[in-house]
Structure 1
Amino acid sequence: MQNPIEPSEPIRAHVFVSGRVQGVGYRYSTMDEASRLGVNGWVRNVPDGRVEAVFEGSKKVVEEMIGWCQKGSRGALVKEMAVEYEQPKGLRGFKIER
């Protein structure tokens, strides 16, 4: 007999995406996808041309969000991605940081 499914502990992923990710709607598409999945956090452009994002939620939805980032928005060309896992901070909602 299997154990009942327990709610998964929230995780936090801090992501940097490089390539053609600015000026192609990447942040707005990230926000739409995060809202669709119910992921909390934020996304912003970095002066060096990368996009930085933080995702908090269950392991399943955060991993799904990271997978989406590897492809990105239409028009984006993701060349490299760095992911670091951190202690969740209890973020609520998802926003584009300026």
Structure 2
Amino acid sequence: MVRVTAWVRGQVQGVGFRWWTRARALELGLTGWAANLADGRVEVVAEGPRESCEKLLGALRGGDTPGQVRGVVERWSEAKGGMAGFVER
């Protein structure tokens, strides 16, 4: 189990991006959240099997997202646990 934190920049607020991310994460069996940041980015924190987290990152970069993603930066770490489901913050 791993944790990936991704910061997504572009036109990603006010376009259904967090909802879309939540749906993809739940399909992959991940826990975590997607939250708008004050600087216009969306922070995505997901925990689960590395392969599922990699698939989520691929989806975030894939071009079928709401809005327009201009870049994704990720950081990998050990899973911390304690999360249930995947929520929009």
Using the size of structure 1 for normalisation, the TM-score is 0.83
Partner amino acid for 1:38? G
Describe the superposition over 1:20-72 as per-residue Cα deviations: whole angstroms up to 9, x where unpaired.
11111000000111111111110000010000010100011100001111135
Q: Which amino acid aligns with 1:21?
A: V
Give the equivalent residue in structure 2 for 1:94.
86
Q: Distance in 2 between matches of 1:41 and 1:52?
A: 11
CA RMSD after TM alignment: 1.1
Larger radius of gyration: 1
Letter in 2 for 1:92: A
**After the TM superposition, which segments of 4 or more aligned residues of structure 1 sit over 4 Å from their partners?**
none
Return the alpha-carbon distance in structure 2 between the equivalents of residues 40 and 18 of structure 1. Answer: 21
TM-score, normalised via structure 2 length? 0.91
Q: Which runs of 5+ in 1 are unaligned?
A: 1-9
Q: Which residue of 1 aligns with 2:47?
A: 56
Gaps of 5+ in 2: none
What is the aligned-residue identity percentage?
36
> Do 1:43 and 1:96's aligned partners in 2 also have CA atoms closer than 8 Å?
yes
- Output the CA distance in 2 between the equivalents of 1:12 and 1:32: 18
